[in-house]
Structure formats: C-alpha cells, structure tokens
C-alpha cells in the first residue's frame, strides 16, 4: 500500500495504489498520529513568521523608491521567492491535518504544488546568482565593474524565474487528485505515465536542483573566503564595487547560503532515498518507514528556511539594520522618532553603566 507521505509527496503509477492484500508497516502509527497533530501547527507558525518577515524585507528594499544595487536585486528576489513559497504552506498544513486528504480540488492541487516546486528551483538558483555576484565583486573587482550591472542582474532574475517555472511544468501537468479507498482519502499525488519518469524526476530534482548548484556555490564561496583571507578587512573595504560594507555584505550572504544548504540538504537526501524505494533498489518496512517519516521532517526543515532568511538579515546584516532604522525614521512622525531615539540612548547609557 502507498503510505500517506509518499501519496502526498511521492510519485506513483495508478497500478501502484493500494493492492488489496497489502498492509501498513507495523510500529509507526504512533509516530504518524503525533505528526498529524503537531506538524500542521508548526507549519502555520512558520507561515505567519515567514509572511511577516519577508514582507518586512521586501518593504525595506522597495518602499524607499531608490535604485537597488546589484546585490539588493538578488536579495529582494530571494525574499519574493520565499514569500511565494510560504503562500502555499497553509494548504500543506490542512492536507497533513486531514491525514493527507486533499479537499481543494485538482486545480489547486496542481497550482499549489507547482508553485512550491518552482520556488524550490528558483531559490537555489538565486543563491547561486548571489554567490556569483559576491565572487565577481571580491575576487575579480576590476572586471566586475563592467560585468555587475543592474540590468544584467534583473535579466538574470527574470531568467531564473522563467527556468524555475519551466522545470515545474511536469508537476503542473501530472499532479492530480485520486481516491485511495484503503486510506479513505482523496490524495493529491504525482501520477507518472511510465516508470522512466522516476529517473527524469530524480535527475531534475537532485542533479539540476541541488548537486550542480551546490558545486557552483561551493566553488564561488571557497574563492570568496580565500580572497577575504588574502586581502584582509582593510583592503576589502577599499574595493570600489563593494564599498565600506563589502565584508559585512559578504558575511550576510555566506550566512544565507549556509542556512539554505543546512535546511534543504535533508530534503534532497530523503528525496533520493524515496527514488531508490520507488525503483525498488531498497525494499522493506524499515526503508519505507525511514523514507516516509524522514521526508516529513526534511520538508519541515526546508519550510523553516523561508522564515529564517529575514531573521538572518536582521541579526547578521548590520547595513540592513541601519537602513531599516533610517526607513523607520522617514515613515514615522518626528515626535515618535525622537522619543524612540531618546529611549535608545537611555538604554545604551544603562548598559554601559
């Protein structure tokens, strides 16, 4: 029988659904009951925090009505990608709460999962673009003066969004809602017309969506760190492309890259195990249990990344905090700004005492 997680997240032919003489693996029902109760609440919490955080980040970039720098164009698009991704999470929470019963119909099944899959690719491609931009600015600062252009960054972002949409087309076309009588649900699942689609899916998801971007990210950031070690903070701060905040911007971006990889690596690991299980390279209840529950927790870590990025902007991005304070002063009545500034000075004096 197809298990709940694999029905919701995996890919099946019609012939694979619920053979009449099969039973669930024993020993995992309690884990599933706990997951059904706990995970939807966590997902909704992530959705609310991510929605507020990414809206705040986008308002920081867009409200001042100024020309965004090259790095800011990429970061704004990353926040927009996270925001679009988050908008699909309430549907996932409801789906899990109802034991993977999908009540929203075929159209939303395709749209929600297609948008989520598109933004999986868009996010990691943007992280590659961000790493490449820092690589040009720090490792090849002279050449980057003509290569790092706003229009080029905008065109790159449009290309990334288009490519993400293109790679999600199979999800839009092959997702459907099918009844699963043994589970008493109607599940939103990928219905592949042929076994070969499993190989297409894993190449697209793991190779194009993770391993190749990961190799590029490691290459760019290795040379960035090597350049920082060679140059030192004083020399980096004098580069014309990065300006005095070049090192701080680089630290922010490196933190975003590490957070992205830590959050998404478990998902790709368990997605590969799912592929091995689907093509019967590994079989048996222990593997099925590992894939089922592992995919759920891996998805949870992936969801966290979308609300973690705004926190990183605030905690690590000192230029971001400074500019956010300036924006706050511009958008707030003068009396409130003076009061806030006075309170800030009092707190600082108390701290130093």
113-119 mean pLDDT: 90
Q: Please provide residue 299's backbone torsions phi and psi, each rounded to the nearest 5 degrees.
A: -65, -35
350 vs 318: which has the higher pLDDT:
318
Whole-number pLDDT of residue 348: 43
**Taking the alpha carbons of 308, 314, 319, 323 in that order, is the dihedral positive or negative?**
positive
pLDDT band per the 50, 70, 90 thresholds, residue 110 = very high
Least confident of 120-124, 145-149, 336-340: 336-340
Judged against a pLDDT cut of 60, whether residue 168 lies above it is answered with yes
Whole-number pLDDT of residue 323: 66
- Please say whether the beta carbons of 126 and 161 come within 8 A: no
145-162 mean pLDDT: 85
For the chain, list the domains and their CATH numbers: 4-316 (1.20.1070.10)
90-103 mean pLDDT: 89
Judged against a pLDDT cut of 70, whether residue 232 lies above it is answered with no
| Distance (Å, whole) CA 293 – CA 339 | 51
Tens digit of each residue's pLDDT (9 = 90 or more) over 257-290: 888 888 888 988 988 888 888 888 878 777 887 8
| Distance (Å, whole) CA 332 – CA 341 | 12
Tally the C-alpha atoms within 13 A of residue 279's C-alpha that lie toward its C-beta.
15
Cα 349 to the chain's mean position, in Å?
Answer: 40
pLDDT over 70 percentage in the chain? 73
Whole-number pLDDT of residue 122: 94
| Distance (Å, whole) CA 237 – CA 232 | 9
Mean pLDDT is highest, among 234-238, 282-286, 294-298, 324-328, for 294-298
SS3 string of 42-97?
HHHHHHHHHHHHHHHHHHHHHCCCCCCCHHHHHHHHHHHHHHHHHHCHHHHHHHHH
13 vs 55: which has the higher pLDDT:
55
- How much of the chain is helix, strand and coil, in % rounded to 5? 80, 5, 15
- How many residues can be counted in the chain? 353
| Distance (Å, whole) CA 311 – CA 200 | 36
pLDDT, the chain, mean? 77
202-218 mean pLDDT: 89
Judged against a pLDDT cut of 60, whether residue 112 lies above it is answered with yes
pLDDT band per the 50, 70, 90 thresholds, residue 332 = low
Tens digit of each residue's pLDDT (9 = 90 or more) over 60-88: 888 766 788 888 899 899 999 999 989 88
């Amino acid at each position: 029988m197809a298990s709940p997680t694999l029905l919701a997240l995996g890919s099946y032919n019609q012939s694979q659904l619920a053979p009449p003489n099969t039973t669930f693996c024993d020993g995992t029902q309690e884990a599933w009951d706990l997951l059904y109760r706990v995970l939807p609440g966590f997902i909704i919490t992530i959705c609310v925090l991510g929605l507020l955080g990414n809206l705040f980040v986008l308002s920081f970039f867009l409200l001042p009505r100024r020309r965004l720098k090259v790095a800011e164009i990429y970061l704004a698009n990353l926040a927009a990608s996270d925001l679009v991704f988050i908008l699909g999470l309430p549907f996932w929470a409801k789906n899990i709460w109802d034991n993977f019963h999908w009540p929203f119909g075929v159209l939303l099944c395709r749209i929600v999962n297609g948008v989520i899959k598109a933004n999986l690719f868009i996010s990691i491609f943007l992280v590659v673009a961000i790493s490449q931009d820092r690589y040009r600015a720090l490792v090849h600062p002279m050449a980057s003066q003509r290569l790092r252009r706003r229009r080029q960054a905008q065109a790159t972002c449009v290309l990334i969004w288009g490519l993400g949409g293109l790679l999600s087309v199979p999800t839009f076309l092959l997702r459907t809602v099918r009844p699963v009588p043994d589970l008493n649900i109607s599940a939103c699942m990928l219905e592949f017309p042929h076994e070969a689609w499993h190989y297409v899916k894993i190449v697209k998801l793991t190779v194009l969506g993770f391993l190749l971007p990961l190799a590029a990210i490691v290459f760019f950031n290795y040379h960035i760190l090597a350049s920082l070690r060679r140059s030192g903070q004083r020399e980096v701060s004098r580069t014309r492309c990065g300006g005095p905040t070049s090192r701080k911007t680089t630290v922010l971006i490196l933190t975003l890259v590490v957070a992205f990889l830590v959050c998404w690596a478990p998902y790709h690991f368990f997605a590969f195990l799912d592929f091995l299980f689907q093509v019967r390279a590994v079989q048996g209840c222990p593997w099925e249990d590992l894939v089922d529950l592992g995919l759920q927790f891996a998805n949870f870590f992936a969801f966290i990344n979308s609300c973690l990025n705004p926190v990183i902007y605030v905690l690590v991005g000192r230029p971001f905090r400074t500019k956010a304070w300036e924006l706050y002063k511009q958008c707030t009545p003068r009396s409130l700004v003076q009061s806030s500034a006075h309170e800030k000075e009092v707190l600082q004096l108390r701290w130093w005492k």
